[in-house]
Amino acid sequence: MNISEAIRKRHSCRSFTGEAMPEDIADGLRKRITSADGLMLIDGSNGRVGTYGIVSGSVCSIALVGDGTKPEFMKTAGDAEEIVLWLTEQGIGSVWLGGTFKVSGVEEHIPAVIALGVPAKKMRLVDRIMHRAISSDTRKPFDELFKASAGGFGEYREPLEMMRLAPSAKNVQPWRAYVDGDTVHFYSTTDNRYTYIDMGIALRHFTLTTPAGIFVDDTSAPAVFPAARYLTSWKKK
Ligand SMILES: Cc1cc2nc3c(=O)[nH]c(=O)nc-3n(C[C@H](O)[C@H](O)[C@H](O)COP(=O)(O)O)c2cc1C
């Protein structure tokens, strides 16, 4: 499975079997967590642990440690999502949970955790109801989220489609982008405790599937989305 397939396959899973992950996957997970800054492996997150939804049978979770209201946190969220996509390829289920979490011995904030486990074959009724209530399966249309100058989307169409499929708190999908030749300007429609987490996840979907480039601050980025604020730009190398 390649990364685009993993992005398409990933969906939030809130019903797990309670079984341990296969040892080679657990080992790969521990290695990835150790080599990332701001991520910790903790016990499973079960019950009403996020701000909505109920999780059962998760065996461990990834905790994101740090100040989620700072732009730097986009990297932490992106690193965590990259691990989620790798776990998706391995058949492991996951769900991002936002809130205020406490882990004994950790003084810093934990604004999000990701519950993990072996997915149950059937969704519980509570999952199905919640899934429908926040329209988890749907995403806003491409043309509402992304605009381009006269040159069109070019090779950025597919990476933006990958961004469109990203998970976000309450499925709000705050990301917007404007393609101008080799440059893509990114904007967010939200300014809340989840903005940098949602944007970090979505930007990682974009960078994992786009030709090499770098993030820059571009003060000349046009205000093409009236209700969104500018965050950063991607320039092709
Ligand atoms: C930062 C963040 C916080 C989230 N918080 C919760 C939560 O508290 N409870 C929950 O059940 N789902 C939570 N979700 C999962 C979203 O509801 C889900 O990703 C979205 O509805 C899209 O559905 P999908 O992941 O199945 O594509 C969160 C997702 C993100 C990215």
Closest ligand 1 atom to 130 CA: 11
Provide the pLDDT for residue 123. Answer: 81
pLDDT-derived band at 209 (thresholds 50, 70, 90) equals very high
Q: What percent of the chain has pLDDT over 90?
A: 83
**For the domain 142-236, what is the CATH code?**
3.40.109
Provide the pLDDT for residue 135. Answer: 83
pLDDT over threshold 90, residue 124:
no
Ligand 1 site residues, Cβ closer than 6 angstroms: 11-12, 14, 50-53, 95-99, 112, 134, 136, 167-171, 194, 197-198, 201
For residue 106, report the distance from its CA to the centre of ligand 1, in Å.
24
Question: Can 3-131 and 142-236 be said to share one CATH topology?
Answer: yes
For residue 85, report the distance from its CA to the centre of ligand 1, in Å.
15
Closest ligand 1 atom to 165 CA: 27
pTM reported for the whole predicted model: 0.97
Mean pLDDT of 131-148: 91
Closest ligand 1 atom to 197 CA: 1
Closest ligand 1 atom to 168 CA: 31
The domain ranges of the chain are 3-131, 142-236
3-131 is classed in which CATH architecture? 3-Layer(aba) Sandwich (3.40)
SS (H, E, C) the chain: CCHHHHHHHCCECCEECCCCCCHHHHHHHHHHHHCCCCEEEEECCCECCCCCCCEECCCEEEEECCCCCCCCHHHHHHHHHHHHHHHHHCCCEEEEEEEEECCCCCCCCEEEEEEEECECCCCCHHHHHHHHHCCCCCCCCHHHHEEECCCCCHHHHHHHHHHHCCCCHHHCCCEEEEEECCEEEEEECCCCCCHHHHHHHHHHHHHHCCCCEEEECCCCCCCCCCCCEEEEEEEEC
Ligand 1 pocket: which of 96, 192, 195, 197 to mutate (most atoms within 8 A of CB): 96
For residue 116, report the distance from its CA to the centre of ligand 1, in Å.
13
